[in-house]
Amino acid sequence: MSSEYTVTETLDVKGESCPMPVVKTKGAIDGLSRGDVLQVLATDSGSVSDIAGWAETTNGVELLDQGEDGDVFEHYVRKTE
């Protein structure tokens, strides 16, 4: 979505409902190194607010961008610590 960052890993949680997109995003972020960017692909529209809220209240992560491509919601999260 942006040339300002490069995706390190992609997490596909399409078909998963709340709270699994956030739970799996946290698990994937925990396995990354500082500065890595995780792309999350979800079909749950609630993931937009859920991942944004999680990133806002979680130390060590930064929500870079969110968007929609058809019925897939894309989230880009950087590990900062």
DSSP for the chain, please give it.
--TT----EEEE-TT--TTHHHHHHHHHHHTSPTT-EEEEEE--TTHHHHHHHHHHHSTTEEEEEEEEETTEEEEEEEE--
Q: Which of 1, 18, 20, 52 is catalytic?
A: 18
Q: 18 an active-site residue?
A: yes
Enumerate the active-site residues: 18
